[in-house]
């Protein structure tokens, strides 16, 4: 198969004209067949896989023409073959997009209740979200296959995120403990010490004479921070729930943190006891349903016993189905008591979804900014919060860095 990484500039060369025409034929579909040269056998199979999903009137994989329907009827074997085909013909990133489109266009989520379907798909975060939303109606014979799929995705996420999260968060915890009597030269925070003693600068010597040292305290062996993750499990938050479950398990493995995880819709479920196994955590969620943020915050408030040493991370699109005024008053009360409240509109790679802008603005007005965070940035966010930095300033710095 032709390398799909060819640059547009390279494809513009005359010798690449056949490849350009081939790609346009695959993009335009069968309706444009008469305008292009005949496809070879491999391209015909690729074209068929695309047509099954995107051509109007195909009826989906295994379809029989006519207007596209919402379901696939009895075509499960054909769908399994189609899933295998797209994994053969397209790179993983494209396969995941096509699977997501199939969920939306063809009702593929219904067929995921069958074990052979789950064995054919490419596991990713969005597939896990779909499986979790089907958890309550999943037949027993499909449940173990679903767990295998979820565990594979969780293990991949842990490989990508766990080590850095532990290192960054533990480093922030160590540095957040300051002392004015560092025991060793290696414990001196020279940057803060110099800034603290700039008034003692000697121009003739071109040096600062430090009269007040700032350093790192010796590492505490006890719990230094309490972290409560409060996660909205409404259907729109599926990817955020998956990432949050993995991060909660990682944070729970850091001895200096006491980590709790609470999920909510119109009811509240405490999953803290399952944090040793993130797969069990995820299967303890129930995606979908309404949203009662105030009720969840009330429960989380009861978990906080050391406000000045506690952080509450609310992950929600802020569409409150309960009493909005009580929710805002509760956040204000916790902030006033010393709790560091962090509001994430999403914890995913896709950015901020639709969210309640009035509630976000009200929270920002009380010093609690609401923003989306990608999984790769979450460790740095936690570090900034632990060190007591302004999260609004942190967001501005990250956005400036992205703009270059």
Query: Per 3-state DSSP, what percentage of the chain is helix, strand, and coil (rounded to 5)?
Result: 55, 10, 30
* Same-domain check for residues 326 and 381: yes
Q: Which domain holds residue 393?
A: 163-171+223-403
Residue 287 sits at the vertex; the CA angle it makes with 370 and 151, to the nearest 5 degrees, is 100
Running DSSP on this structure, what letter comes out for residue 317?
A: -
- Tokens representing 4? 């799909």
Q: Are residues 207 and 259 in the same domain?
A: no
The values of phi and psi at residue 323, to 5°, are -95, 110
Question: pTM for the full model?
Answer: 0.71
Query: Is 372 exposed, middle or buried, given 0-12, 13-18 or 19+ CB atoms closer than 10 A?
Result: buried
Residues 95 and 244 in one domain: no
Written as six digits, the tokens of 173 are 């915890």
* Dist. CA 336–CA 67, nearest whole Å: 59
| Same domain, residue pair 231 and 210 | no
Q: Is the dihedral of CA 251, 256, 257, 258 positive or negative?
A: positive
* pLDDT 10s digits, 100-149: 787 777 676 766 777 777 777 888 998 898 888 877 777 777 888 889 99
pLDDT at 388: 84
Q: Is the dihedral of CA 179, 310, 258, 314 positive or negative?
A: negative
Residues 31 and 73 in one domain: yes
Q: Which two tokens stand for residue 245?
A: 């479950």
Asked, for residue 304, whether it belongs to a domain, the answer is yes
Are 38 and 115 in the same domain? Answer: yes
Number of other CB atoms surrounding residue 378 within 10 Å: 24
**Residue 247 and residue 283 in one domain:** yes
**Which H, E and C letters describe 106-161, residue by residue?**
HCHHHHCCCHHHHHHCCCCHHHHHHHHHCHHHCCHHHHHHHHHHHHHHHHHHHHHH
pLDDT at 76: 53
Q: What is the pLDDT of residues 336-390, one digit of tens each?
A: 999 999 999 999 988 777 899 999 999 999 999 999 999 999 999 999 998 888 8
Query: What value does the mean pLDDT of the chain take?
Result: 81
Instruction: Name the strands in the sheet holding 370-373, side by side, starting at the edge strand that comes first in the sequence.
Output: 268-270, 257-264, 225-232, 310-315, 340-347, 370-373
> pLDDT truncated to tens, each residue of the chain (404 aa)?
334 444 444 445 555 677 777 777 777 766 666 667 777 777 877 877 788 777 754 555 544 343 333 333 445 556 667 777 787 788 877 887 887 787 777 676 766 777 777 777 888 998 898 888 877 777 777 888 889 999 999 999 999 999 999 999 988 887 665 556 676 676 677 777 887 788 888 888 888 888 777 766 555 556 789 999 999 998 778 899 999 999 999 999 999 999 999 999 989 999 999 999 999 999 999 887 789 999 999 999 999 999 999 999 999 999 998 899 999 999 999 999 999 999 999 999 887 778 999 999 999 999 999 999 999 999 999 999 988 888 988 988 888 887 76
């Amino acid at each position: 198969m032709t390398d799909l990484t060819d640059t547009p500039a390279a494809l513009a060369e005359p010798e690449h004209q056949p490849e350009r025409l081939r790609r346009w034929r695959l993009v335009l579909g069968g309706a444009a067949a008469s305008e292009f040269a005949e496809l070879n056998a491999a391209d015909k199979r690729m074209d068929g896989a695309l047509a099954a999903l995107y051509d109007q009137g195909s009826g989906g994989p295994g379809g029989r023409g006519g207007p596209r329907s919402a379901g696939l009827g009895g075509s499960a074997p054909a769908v399994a073959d189609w899933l295998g085909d797209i994994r053969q013909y397209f790179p993983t990133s494209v396969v995941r997009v096509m699977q997501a489109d199939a969920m939306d266009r063809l009702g593929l989520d219904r067929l995921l209740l069958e074990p052979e379907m789950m064995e054919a798909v490419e596991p990713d975060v969005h597939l896990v979200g779909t499986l979790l939303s089907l958890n309550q109606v999943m037949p027993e014979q499909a449940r173990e296959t679903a767990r295998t799929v979820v565990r594979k995705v969780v293990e991949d996420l842990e490989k990508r995120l766990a080590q850095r999260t532990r290192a960054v968060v533990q480093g922030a915890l160590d540095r957040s403990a300051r002392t004015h009597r560092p025991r060793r030269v290696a414990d001196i925070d020279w940057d803060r010490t110099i800034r603290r003693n700039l008034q003692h600068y000697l121009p003739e010597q071109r040096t600062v004479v430090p009269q007040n040292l700032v350093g790192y305290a010796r590492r505490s062996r006890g719990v230094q921070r309490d972290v409560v993750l409060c996660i909205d499990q409404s259907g729109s938050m599926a990817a955020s729930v998956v990432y949050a479950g993995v991060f909660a398990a990682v944070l729970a493995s850091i001895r200096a943190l006491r980590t709790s995880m609470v999920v909510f819709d119109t009811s509240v479920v405490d999953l803290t006891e399952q944090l040793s196994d993130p797969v069990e955590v995820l299967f303890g969620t129930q995606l979908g349903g309404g949203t009662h943020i105030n009720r969840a915050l009330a429960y989380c408030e009861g978990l906080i016993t050391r406000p000045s040493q506690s952080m509450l991370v609310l992950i929600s699109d802020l569409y409150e189905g309960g009493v909005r005024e009580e929710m805002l008053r509760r956040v204000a009360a916790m902030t006033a008591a010393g709790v560091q409240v962090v509001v994430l509109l999403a914890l995913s790679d896709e950015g901020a979804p639709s969210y309640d802008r009035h509630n976000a603005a009200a929270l920002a007005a009380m010093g609690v900014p609401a923003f989306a965070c990608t999984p790769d940035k979450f460790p740095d966010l936690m570090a900034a919060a632990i060190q007591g930095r302004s999260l609004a300033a942190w967001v501005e710095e990250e956005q400036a860095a992205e703009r270059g």
